[in-house]
Structure 1
Amino acid sequence: MTSSAGAQAPGGAKAGGGARTLAGRCGSANWVCVAQCIDVSCVDRCLAEGCEKALGALAQCAAKSGCGPDDSDCVARVCGKQCGRTFEPAPPSPEKETPDPCADASLGAGAVPKEVVGRWSLEAASIRPEEKERIVGQENTDAKPRPDYARSLVVTPGGCFLLRTKLEDATLGRGNALEVRSWGAFQVNDKDDTVELRTKSGQAVGPVCGKPRVIGLSKGKFQPTTFTYDVEGDTLTLTAKTPSLQTFQFRRQTENQAE
């Protein structure tokens, strides 16, 4: 997981560390990049890397398809070829979904403070310094998250974390959805109230082009990122230890909210 100005910028799908991608398609390198983000502007930058135009063309096909607003089967049929040109690889996924990666005790970093254990939903993120000028006078435009974007963080008592980003058809085209997941060690340093998130692997899971997909991200090169952390009541605040000092605020989920 990366968070800050420098760390979150996808630097191209280079964040994928050599993951295969095809020019103009949304592939594993894009999802590795998304898996390292926290805020929505970072996700936007990941998709802009060779993927944005393809998604726009797919959305245009759906708009001209004549299909009903809720008829994803129709869209998949009419725009199947365009969808295949948008996402790669197109064949059925070779690997199985890992629904609970933190069940593997070897992923954890050891005991963590009780107050950070639990399920958290991203509630707010500060604006990166280089984005402030672009957002001035547009408080309700660029600064507002997409309606389909949801980010959650799970921290286990054994020091494992699971980060999940849900991208739905508002971003990926009608009938498409992916939950991009990354997981690894939640390494806490009690002396200076910092935590290092050491991402070890991930997956992007969901229906794409009418087929269930599990896109493995294990070949991506994930960079560890350090934050200062603070817990007040039901609020967890992470501040990136970078020049940007970008801040992310999470709200604790109740049992009814947790999936």
Structure 2
Amino acid sequence: MPSSRLLPVLLLALGAALPAVAQTSSSQRARTVAGVCGATNWACVAECIDAECVDTCMRQDCEQALERLKACTQRAGCAPNDAECGPRACLPICQRSFEPAPPSPEKEVPAPCEGVKARGAAPPRALVGTWTLVAASLPEDETVREERIEAQPRSDYARSLQVTPSGCFVLRTSLEAATLGQGNSLVVRAWGTLDVSGEDRVRLRTRDGQAVGPVCGDKRVIPLTGPKLKFRGSAYVWDLEEGVLTLMVDDETKQTFQFERATPERGKQ
């Protein structure tokens, strides 16, 4: 796929993010308690095509709750770099803003690719490694784009893709304090196998996912799969040129996403 044929790309500084790894209708999603942020929001984030989609996910029963939490931390005079002030000063409001932890907490999967192997051929060696999204194609119809929750670019929507030699992949999205309120952060991960089809086509088949991080002073491990949430995966045409990995959605949209190989520091996102 020559780079000259790529759709125009927009740097992440203008708010792009990675494509969906799962497609589910709203009727299939597990319901979150009304008026709070929870599993439905995080599963929705894992499905997103772009940053506007992430914003939409955060609006579902969640935006007003986060606004109340943000107002509380501002009244409390919490310093921007004080991660303990928000949960301490606004604990009751924080607890009302998020779904409570499940009675039987799920254990975090620290190494989701351990023992996972693609059914077919191993991925090309050029794909193996950790990649950070740096650019994405713009939607053709600007009129359908909703107003963003905040006009400024959101660095805490950082997205990375890891591919192992055995054909496992992990997609990772960071949601930090700018999104979830001071002292709260979640890393949303989805993982599965990368199936090779021909010389330049791959399909991401998602098996599972979790959202992990501190919420209201306690670590949460939130499952992203269940009987009413099924990942379907996405197919891409890939190209690697001058160190830039390009994935183009293999459908009529031809949405295009570009990655650079992560440095050790960027790979921690």
Please state which band the TM-score falls in when normalised by the shorter chain: 0.7 to 0.9
Structure 2 vs 1, CA of residues 19 and 104 (structure 1 numbering), >3 Å: closer, same or farther? farther
Partner residue of 2:219 out of 206, 212, 220: 212
Structure 2 vs 1, CA of residues 185 and 134 (structure 1 numbering), >3 Å: closer, same or farther? closer
**What is the TM-score normalised by the length of structure 1?**
0.85
- CA distance in 1 between partners of 2:181 and 2:120 (Å): 38
Query: Which has the larger share of helix?
Result: 1
Q: Does 1:20 align with 2:31?
A: yes
RMSD: 2.8
Q: Deviations over 1:196-217 (max 9, x none)?
A: 1111100101100110111111
Residue 69 of structure 1 is matched in structure 2 by: 80
- CA distance in 2 between partners of 1:93 and 1:145 (Å): 37
Structure 2 vs 1, CA of residues 93 and 207 (structure 1 numbering), >3 Å: closer, same or farther? farther
- CA distance in 2 between partners of 1:58 and 1:109 (Å): 48
Residue 204 of structure 2 is matched in structure 1 by: 197
Q: Does 1:188 align with 2:205?
A: no
Structure 2 vs 1, CA of residues 109 and 58 (structure 1 numbering), >3 Å: closer, same or farther? farther
Measured after TM superposition, the shift of residue 50 of structure 1 is: 2.0
Equivalence map 1:97-116=2 (5 Å): 97-106=108-117, 110-116=121-127
Contact 1:10 1:42 in 2 (8 A): no
- CA distance in 2 between partners of 1:218 and 1:202 (Å): 6
Q: Deviations over 1:31-84 (max 9, x none)?
A: 111112353222112112221222122111211223333333232122111111
Percent identical residues = 49
- Partner SS for 1:72: coil
2:244 corresponds to which letter in structure 1?
T
Equivalence map 1:43-192=2 (5 Å): 43-90=54-101, 94-106=105-117, 110-131=121-142, 145-191=153-199
- CA distance in 2 between partners of 1:180 and 1:145 (Å): 19
Q: Does 1:3 align with 2:11?
A: no
The runs of 5 or more residues in structure 2 that have no matched partner are 1-17
**What is the TM-score normalised by the length of structure 2?**
0.82
Q: More deviation in 33-42 or 93-102? A: 33-42
- Partner SS for 1:81: helix
The runs of 5 or more residues in structure 1 that have no matched partner are none
Measured after TM superposition, the shift of residue 240 of structure 1 is: 1.3
- CA distance in 2 between partners of 1:93 and 1:167 (Å): 24
Structure 2 vs 1, CA of residues 108 and 43 (structure 1 numbering), >3 Å: closer, same or farther? farther
Q: More deviation in 107-116 or 160-169? A: 107-116
Residue 237 of structure 1 is matched in structure 2 by: 246
Structure 2 vs 1, CA of residues 109 and 155 (structure 1 numbering), >3 Å: closer, same or farther? farther
Structure 2 vs 1, CA of residues 91 and 198 (structure 1 numbering), >3 Å: closer, same or farther? closer
